[in-house]
Structure formats: structure tokens, C-alpha cells
Amino acid sequence: MDNGIIRVGLIGAGANTRLRHIPGFREQEGVEIVAVANRSRESGEAIASEYEIPTVYDNWLELMESDDIDAVCVGTWPYMHRTLVLSALENDKHVLTEARMSMDAAEAHEMLDASRQFPHLVTQIVPAPATLQVDQTIQDLIAEGYPGQLLALKLRVSDGHGRADRSDTFMNTEAPLHWRQNRQLSGYNIMGMGIWYESLMRYVGPATKVMAMTRVFTNQRKDENGIVRSVSVPDHVNVLCEFASGVQADLSWSTVTGLQTGAEMWIFGSDGTIKIEGPPFDKVFVGKNGDKELKEHAIPDNRRGKWQVEQDFIDSIRGTSGVTHTPFDIGVQYMEFTEAVTRSAQSGQVVYLPL
Amino acid sequence: MTSQGIRIGLIGAGRNTRDRHIPGFQAVEGIEIAAVANRSIASSQAVADQFNISGVYGNWQELLEDPSIDAVCIGTWPYMHRTLTLASLEAGKHVLCEARMATSAQEAQDMLDASRERPDLVTQIVPSPLTFKIDRLLQSKISDGYIGDIIGVSVQSLGNAFMDPGGPMHWRNDRDLSGYNILNMGIWYEAMIRWVGRATKVTAMTKVTVNSRKDESGQAVDVTIPDHVGIIAELANGSMANMQFSGVTGLSSGNGVWIYGSEGTLHVDGALNVYGGQRGDDKLAEIPNPEEGRAYWRVEEEFCNAIRGQEQITRTPFEVGLHYMEFTEAVTRSAQTGQTIALPL
């Protein structure tokens, strides 16, 4: 950190890194993106020239071993997150890792344990972004007691991942294998489930009991080389869970529910109801006992959250704030939930959390 | 036997009996509602006076001993259905039994077994009438291949009112009277069977939000029947279903059904309008549901026709009642044990 400049190295520069993290870091004063290591030197060079990054490494290990880098942004698929995070910490680098945190709960625990061994280094996971605009307002409503005692939650998500044509929401057996459908790359993660669960935890805390049933409707897909691969990551998921707060929830995610798009979430309390839908999730609808219907609840500008991942990361490195979106211990909670869903679906038994 | 006169005895004459069955029987030619046995002789007399019923009995046993009664309409709460059905069959009387069929799967099995010992007698359960208006439309759309292979089914029956902690005890909240039945779960499952068939695996979570209510005498009593239920199920056709029932979801979006297929989607809204869309469409559109194609309430006519040998019971035979009672019990067993329950039990 010469002269207060924070030098960031990118490992894996996929779509989210290019669309979000690079511009995000560029907006921060005193931050330089100094190096990139992508899947190949060629793809690293393409990124470097497009975004004017001075150094390209052949592989991530070389980047980690560089003394000229203070912080690493891990943008790979989940299968590399644990390895890269542990290596970054061992190499005395702050680390921001892309979501989902890891392949499974055990990896997430290792990452959390490692982060605690390096208290001077900042560790952060890219947060669930869909509900950032409304999170604070929902938290405020709950804190004020608007819904009263929280009773039930319902979430339905029609997920677009893996679809060649986003306008066709029906089952698509022809679409090529997406990395989210590849268990070797994604582990227990299923569609956008972990992301949504992370948002739900902001409102009702973590779950204590999970029961799930899942289905793979398209169980073979061609990979990028045209080779048929079997698919074991579900494209349709139903989850029942109980939260420590007493809330009982029905959650569903699917990529095969034709003409259903987007998502809606309802929180039912003893005295009031809160609903969001989207995308975009930029409005909150509420109703209280005695009302005839839900109405829009105005969100004060200063309560509307936004994407500020890179700023949070840099501020935390500088010690001017702490990581709230998202610290590793929250990542562990959603990875435990994620793993519990598959374990319950596999065993036909309730899985209790924490694992 | 076409013109055979049939003498009906009513056991339990609650609201559905008075609103539906009595007018229904009175509309069938050659039918006489000959006797009634309600909870007390006084309440029997009141019903008899209101509907011109000549025979008044102090209890159901006396009614069943009356040799002039051909058929019995059981309108009690579920806790008496098994006992009354078995006794009626033993007394040689046809049986129309109010829904829910029984308090448990075992009782339903006993009733089915008893009915099979008397092939000469008609047995029928009052069908789930909620979706008569749309059952045929959904059945024909699905069998015509409109949605392709069925992938997912979603049934939502959420109340619109907030939790009512001071609310009185209803017989549906009373496990002694209702057994494993919860909210209107069995009714919806029976309807769902008509469209997409039965479940083979059931996973459920339930919650009793209001766990104490006041009975008729103002005494606080514990409630163990859930007022919020989440169910996920695997169906024999290979699809997955999720169902939600609740009495505590204030200002919810109410009732709705979604049937997702590989090529199309069907949606039923809370007012029983049917919408559909297929691959290539950009949204769901309402599907006309002409009145002449719809099923309608003809429970008493069907019962009498069956007694006269003119038709078979389709709404609802005891076999189907057993199916929904097994599902109903599986929901509670799954919620109790935290395990997925395979059907049939």
C-alpha cells in the first residue's frame, strides 16, 4: 500500500468482474487495478488491453506471489473460491470473492476459519444484489413492528439461468450446459437459491430446519465442445423451512415454469404483510390488519441501498468501515442452507441448521 | 328400478345438509327424505319441521334400525364418518357421506373395506365442489396436450385475514372432531387429483399459530391442528407439486393454481378464471370456459342414480377418498417426523 494506493489484482475476469468490479474499483480514489490472471494468458491479455491493466499473469499462482498486489478480486466460478481465498490470505492479500461463496458448507467453513487467522486482512463476498434497494426498508418495517410477530414467508422465483433465449421461459432442453448446471463447477449451489436466501436472512435471520425436494428435468446437456454431459444440478426446487425467528417459509426456484417470470416474496406477520416483486425490486408493498389491500410504502432516499461492493471493500481495507455485504460468516450460513437443501432432497429427511 | 322410490335418512343435519343435500334430494324424482337424526331430538325436530320430514329420531342408531330407510346421508363432522358408514352398511343401507371422508387413513381404509363387503350397496363421499367449474376444462386441456408433459403444479389456498388469536374454536380446529384434516387441504388435493393425478411422496411443514382458542362454553382449549401448512410432493406423473394452505396470511393473493408443462402453462385465479399460454406466447391469456361444458353439483342425483343402477359413482368413490385421506395423513406424519412420506401408506 505505497502512498496509500491499493493495488488490486483480478483472478478470473468474467462478466460480473468486467461489468461491475472493474468499473467499481475505478470509481475509488487511490485504487489501481494492476494485474489480471484469467483462464489463459490470451484471455488475460484481452482483458488487460480492453481495461488498460498493466500486468498479465499466466496463472493465478503467479499473481498471488506478486509483492506488488495488496488485494485480490476472485471472479472465478465457485469451484476455485476456497483455493484462491486461502492462497490470497496466505499471501497476505485482502480478498473479495465473487458469490456463491463456495461449493459446499465445509469449504465455506474453511474459508471463514482462514479469514480469522488473518485478522488484519479484509475478507468479503460479493453480496446478493437483487434486493439492495429495499432491504433497509423491510428491515425498518420489521424493527418498527409493522408486521407484528413474523409468521410465514413465501418466495417464488422463476430463474433465467442457463436459458439461451430469455424470452422463452419454457423448459429448454437444447440450451448448452451452463456453469451453474455443472456440479463440478458449482457444487451444491442451485440456480439463484443462495442469493435469495442471503436476502431473506436480512429480514428473518437464518433457518433452523430445511426440507426440500428437487428435480432435474433436463438431465443431459451438451457442453461447449458438443459432448453430452449428464446434469445433476436441479432445475426445479421446492423448499420448506423454519427460521429461528419462528417464521415458516415456502420457497421455490425453477427454470422450467413457462410464462412465469421474475420473483415475488411475501412476509406475513400477525398484524401486517410485506411484499416485494421484480425485478427490479425497487418497491415495497405493505398492508395492515384492517386494510383492504396492499399499498406501496414510500422508501426514503437515504434508506435505499445500492451496489457499493468495491467501495465497501476498499473502505474496509482502509479501516474506515467494516464489511457488512457480505462477511464470510453470513456466507457460511447460506452455504449451509444450500447444502441442507440437497441433503434433504437426497435423504428425504429434514436437515437441521447449523450443520 | 328406474322409478324405484328411495327413502333417505339424514344423520347429522348441519349447514351443508340443509343448504345442499336436502334441496338436492328433493329435486330428484321418487326420493323421500323420510327421517332425520341430529345431535338431539330437539334439533332433529327443528330440521324435520323446517323441511317436512316425517321421521324424527333421537339418535342415529334408531334411524339405522328403521327398515323403511334405504339410504343414509351422513352429515356429521369427520369423527363419526367411519362409525356411521360401517353401521349403515351393516344395516343394509346405501351411504352418502359428507367430506372429509374420515379422520385418518386407517378409518378411510376401514370404510373402503366395508363398502367392498357390500357390493349391493352404493357408497359415495360428497365431492370437493370447489373446482367443478373448471375441472373439465383443465382435464381436457391437459389431455389434449396443451401443456405437454406436466412438470410442476402449484396450489395456493391462502386466507386473506390476519391471525385471529381470540377466535372461537371451530370444529375444523378440533383434532378430536377433524383428525388429520387441516384447513381445506383435502378438498384441494381431491381437486388436484382430477387434473394431474396422485402424489407418491409428500414432504410437509406445518405451524400452529393460534394454539389456544375458546370453546362454546368460553373455556380455553389447546389447538393442535395447524393453521399454516406448506407441502411439497412428487406426483406419479413425474411432476413436482407445492401446496400452501393458511389461515394467517393477511392480504395474501388468495387462491390460485398453476400447472406448468414442457410446452404450456395453465393458471386458475381466485375467481376460477382459467388462463393459458404456450411456448411462443408472450403471456397468459384467458381460456373461454363455456357454461355448458362445466361440471356442476349433482351429488344427490348421482347417488340416487347409482342406487337405481343407472350410473357409477365418480364424484366421489371411497377409493378416491382413501387417496386423499392418505395424503392428508402423510402431511401430518411428515411434519411430525421430518421425513418424506411415500404414498400409498
Of B230, B252, B281, the CB nearest to A259: B281
DSSP letter at B168? B
Find chain A residues with C-beta within 8 A of B227's C-beta. Answer: none
Contacts of B240 in chain A (CB under 8 A): 213, 215, 236, 238
Domain total in chain B: 2
- Looking at residue A1, what is its pLDDT? 56
Q: Does B215 reside within a domain?
A: yes
Structural domain contains residue B67: yes
Taking the C-alpha atoms of residue A57 and residue B318, their distance in angstroms, rounded to an integer, is: 73
Omega prior to B290 cis, within 30 of 0: no
B270 to A53, A256, A265, B183, B264: CA distances (angstroms)? 57, 23, 19, 17, 20
Instruction: Report A:291-330 residues touching B (Cβ under 8 A).
Output: 291, 293-294
Closest CA to A274 of B250, B67, B57: B250
Q: Which residue from B151, B203, B242 is facing A252, i.e. has the nearest CB? A: B242
User: What CATH number has the domain bearing residue B11?
Assistant: 3.40.50.720
Q: Which three cell numbers stand for residue A143?
A: 424493527
Q: In this structure, what are the phi and psi dihedrals at residue A236, rounded to the nearest 5 degrees?
A: -155, 120
Domains along chain A with CATH numbers: 2-128+309-325 (3.40.50.720), 132-305 (3.30.360.10)
Closest CA to A186 of A2, A342, A9, A35: A342
- Cis omega before residue A354 (within 30°)? yes
Nearest CA in chain B to A295: B251
Query: Among all chains, which residue has been given the C-alpha cell 498471488?
Result: A64
Q: From chain A, pick out residues whose CB is under 8 angstroms from the CB of B264.
A: 170, 258
ipTM value for the complex: 0.94
Nearest to B294 by CA among B167, B88, B139: B139
Count chain A–chain B contacts defined by CB atoms under 8 A: 138
- Position B335 in a domain: no
Same domain, B14 and B76: yes
**CB pair distance less than 8 Å for B265 and A257:** yes
In a domain? residue B101: yes
Tell me the mean pLDDT in the region B27-43. 95
Q: What is the CATH number of the domain that holds B139?
A: 3.30.360.10
- Nearest by CB to residue A259, choosing from B201, B265, B334, is B265
Write down the residue that cell numbers 411430525 correspond to.
B336
Residue B110 and residue B212 in one domain: no
**B32 and B157 fall within a common domain:** no
Q: What is the mean pLDDT of residues B84-113?
A: 98
| Per-residue cell: B16 | 351443508
Cell numbers that stand for A90 in this block: 496466505
User: Do B118 and B191 belong to one domain?
Assistant: no
Both B238 and B306 in one domain: the answer is: no
B55 and B198, same domain (yes or no): no
A68-103 burial, b if ≥16 CB within 10 A, otherwise e?
ebbbbbbbbbbbbbbbbbbbbbebebbbbbbbbbbb
Percent of chain B having pLDDT more than 90?
Answer: 94
| Grid cell for residue B21 | 343435500
CB B286 within 8 A of CB B267: no
B277 shares contact with chain A (CB less than 8 Å): yes
- Which residue out of B157, B257, B260, B283 would a mutagenesis test of the A interface target, given it has the greatest number of A Cβ atoms within 10 Å? B260
The answer to whether B29 touches B90, Cβ cutoff 8 Å, is no
Packed helices A105-117 and A328-347: angle between N→C axes, nearest 10 degrees: 160
Residue B341 backbone phi and psi in degrees, to 5: -105, 125
For residue A268, give the nearest of B252, B282, B334 by CB distance.
B252
Closest Cβ–Cβ partner in A154, A213, A269 for B203 = A213
Judged by a CB distance cut-off of 8 A, whether residue B343 touches chain A is no
Q: At residue B6, what is the residue type?
A: I
Picking from B230, B232, B262, the nearest residue to A171 by CB comes out as B262
Average pLDDT rounded to a whole number, residues B50-79: 96
Does the N-terminal peptide bond of residue A54 adopt cis geometry, omega within 30 degrees of 0?
A: no
Residue B322 lies in a domain: no
The answer to whether residue B336 is domain-embedded is: no
Find the mean pLDDT for residues B93-118: 98
| Chain A residue with Cα closest to B260 | A257
Q: Which of B153, B202, B203, B237 would you mutate first to test chain A, the one with the most A CBs within 10 A?
A: B203
Nearest CA among B332, B328, B292, B336 for reference residue B101 = B328
Looking at the fold, whether B313 and B280 belong to one and the same domain comes out as no
Determine the structural domain holding residue B80 and report its residue range: 6-128+297-317
Across A174-178, A212-216, B16-20, B164-168, least confident range: B164-168
Confidence of residue B175 (pLDDT cuts 50, 70, 90): very high
Q: Are strands A263-269 and A272-278 parallel, antiparallel or unpaired?
A: antiparallel
Average pLDDT over residues B20-28: 96
B228 interfacial to chain A (CB closer than 8 Å): yes
Does the residue B345 lie in any domain? no
Q: Would the pLDDT of B201 be above 90?
A: yes
* Residue B240 and residue B305 share a domain: no
CA distance A143 to chain B (A): 19
Handedness of CA A174, A178, A180, A185 (dihedral sign): positive
- What's the sign of the alpha-carbon dihedral B295, B298, B299, B304? negative
Q: Tell me which chain A residues have a C-beta less than 8 angstroms from the C-beta of B155.
A: none
What is the C-alpha to C-alpha distance for residues B317 and B129, in angstroms, rounded to an integer?
14
Does B2 have pLDDT greater than 50? no
pLDDT along chain A (355 residues), means of 10: 86 94 97 97 96 97 97 97 98 97 98 98 97 98 98 92 63 90 95 96 98 96 94 96 97 93 96 96 97 97 96 97 96 98 98 97
Q: Are A67 and A34 in contact (CB under 8 A)?
A: no
pLDDT of residue A159: 78
A348 touches chain B (CB under 8 A): yes
The reported pLDDT for the residue numbered B166 is 79
B149 and B57 within one domain: no
* Cβ neighbours for B30, distance < 8 A, ≥ 6 positions apart: B3, B4, B5, B6, B304
Question: B335 to chain A: nearest residue by CA?
Answer: A350
Q: Which residues of A touch B278 (CB under 8 A)?
A: 258
Q: Which one of B228, B232, B251 has the shortest CB-CB distance to A273?
A: B251
Does residue A106 belong to the interface with chain B, where contact is any CB pair within 8 Å? no
pLDDT, position B216: 87
A-facing residues of B in 119-158 (CB < 8 A) are 151-152, 154
Instruction: Inform me whether the pLDDT recorded for B1 exceeds 50.
Output: no
- Does residue B122 sit in the same domain as residue B181? no
Instruction: Tell me which chain B residue has its CA closest to the CA of residue A291.
Output: B251
Would B324 be classed as within a structural domain? no
Residues B92 and B30 placed together within one structural domain of the fold: yes
Tell me the per-residue pLDDT of B280-308, one tens digit each, with 9 for 90 and over.
Answer: 999 999 999 999 999 999 999 999 999 99
Shortest alpha-carbon distance between residue A238 and chain B (Å): 7
Closest CA–CA distance from residue B251 to any residue of chain A (Å): 6
- Whether B63 has a pLDDT exceeding 90, the answer reads yes
Instruction: Please give the C-alpha separations between residue A45 and each of A24, A54, A274, B14, in angstroms, as whole numbers.
Output: 20, 10, 48, 80
* B291 and B220 part of one domain: yes
For residues A139 and A208, give the distance between their C-alpha atoms in angstroms, rounded to a whole number.
20
